[in-house]
Structure 1
Amino acid sequence: MTNPTKIKVLFRLRSLEMGGVPRVVLDLLNNLPKEKFDITLMLNLYQGELRTEIPKHIHLVRIAKGREDFSVNPILHKVQLVLRKLKLKFYEVFPSFLYNQILKEDYDIEVAPGYAEFEWILNSPNKKSRKIGWFHTDVSYDKDQNRVMKRINLMKKFDWMIFGSAQTRQVITDLYGVTYPNSSVIYNVINFQEAMEKSKLMEVNYPIRPVFSTIGRLHFRKGYDALIRVHKRLLDEGFKHSIAVIGGGNEMENLKNQAIETGVEETFNLLDTQKNPYPYVAQSDFFVLPSRSESYPLTVGEVMGLGIPILSTNVGGIPEMIDHEVDGYLVNFDEEEIYEGMKRFMTDQELIENLKKGMKSVPEKFDNSKIYHQISQVFENQYLQK
């Protein structure tokens, strides 16, 4: 029996800069049943490319301004950054002030959508709320054991944990012997319709084809350094093609320098973050994901929904998404295997046609309505346990 009163849910998030977790949160804010949940989103920073996409019916609480709203005067800008940092630190140390002065109400459920928000939720002065955590990370890749163990132990403190893939949860058991009885695996929603609509909003001119597009934060674990080396080898062997990398991050300068040193700066195109990356993918010939580590990347499902043949490393939750040589192509994270896979994409037309046929059933493969129902059930069950 459900309570006729709406369940009050608080999501906490650092910012709305382009990334997997903010996109997952925005999708849930748009699609969780309005008749069941009264949802508040609290942002530490009102910052990022996605901040204009917050649904109108969501209660928005902003702790601090984003860089977009700071002064262009460099000295004043630095002062604003320091003051913002002090403000956030104060509320982190004294969360009761944050809840009493800014939120001013209690919630039935408080949600940490990623590990960055774990301690904020667990330190909530609202002791009666049920705490739910989300985890999307493959811990086997992280070499910082202190950081891994801290996250593993924090997850034990939540009333319920949601893991973004079966592999994400299982690898913790395999490597550390830790299990989470109060948890479930719920895949992230893949919004095929939105990706399709946005893919048609502009034209992209690729002068050198075929084009392998790819999307991701420019981080070492994404494997773009390896992709440059494979790209160079293929070019040297006469396989004309180009790469389009959509994403920003702290590896940008390193990758630019590597591309120049390797002599592929004309064909390895670093396009930085794009608010709408879908036209770049939809108008490419193939998609390549050379990651060393992943969990359950939304991009994989979206690319499959767009009908672009995808070559991906067989890491994290990706084999839970792709059926090898049916609707995608899996290789180990190994430069030789990535090289052979990309070469096959450029030379084996029968394989490409088979993958395109297989991808036609992808929207039925990922049932979004089931996912919203699973999340709603978790929230309702936790509410009943208050």
Structure 2
Amino acid sequence: MSGPAQDRFDRLRLIRSPNVGPVAYRQLIARFGSAGQALSAIPDLAARGGARAFRGADERAVAAEWQAVERLGGRHIFLGDADYPALLEEAGAAPPVLMAMGALPLDGRPLVAMVGARNASAAACRFARQLAQDVGARGGVTVSGLARGIDTAAHMGSLSTGTVAAIGCGLDVFFPPENAALQERIAAEGLLLTEHPPGTEPLARHFPARNRIIAWMAQGTVVVEAAPRSGSLLTARLAGEEGREVMAVPGFPLDPRAQGCNALIRDGATLVQSAEDIFESVGRIGGGLFRQPRATYAGPPPADLVEAERRQITGLLSMAPVVVDEIIRLSGASAGAVQTALLELEIAGRLQRHAGGRVSLLD
């Protein structure tokens, strides 16, 4: 293997290496220029961060994953690839790789996320299906999570015009089981996305991560029925944090399934009664329906550290999350130096990254 094929294999090896999360992946590529160079450098980075030993991803396991995806008729899409969702790529913590089935073109089409209760009412499911159908009739693509209830209705309404399903398991796992036929249709007629290798089961911890794919790849998120503290509200929050439009369908105040949507509207979300409301809302983003993603590997410039800087930066960290910009200000070091120190700690398994650009020590 050589050339572009080797580079793509190296990227997958880097992604599957221990402690290489989305932020670390971008920074490693920015610093070393290629996944192959980064793989050669990370044992030394881990040692500087305090790790006693570092073992990268097993090449045989990575090769097996690659072959399994190809056998399913899928493909790996990496950050920087032309078919990686443009707005998703804009998010700093976007998955470095997605596994995909289907060939639905997304360029030039508005993407609208639609989520809601699994135990949704019949009226809400009917409304979600019609709303997704109307979004498609106006040229849009509906994005959802293939869950029971509102997600299923949204996909059914948009199958003929364009639908994207982000799932929290492998491409070869059907969840929920009753949606197996729908999942196969989306893989054939729309686009099925996951960040998990084949065989990965739908564990509870996978779904918040799946929600960020749904929220971040769309111009806006519409919530149709949601109880307080539901996964749908998490998706709406993720959308808002990335500057996407948050929209909600109002419901009857005494129905617990409407309380989340009504609360979103009370807090400033756009009230949605039709597809026209959706397109009017997402049209306000950046003055139009589309935005250009920022540079794929927008990381700090390479910066070498002296030991005194490393100790000073590490000394400012604790198990309480702190914003990276605050570390830069307090340390007086350059942004590149601080990011390098944080990268070393992360590769060593000593640093945890949190939402909002915050970091904390794990030990």
TM-score by length of 1: 0.33
* Larger RCO (CA under 8 A, 6+ residues apart): 2
> TM-score, structure 2 length as denominator?
0.35
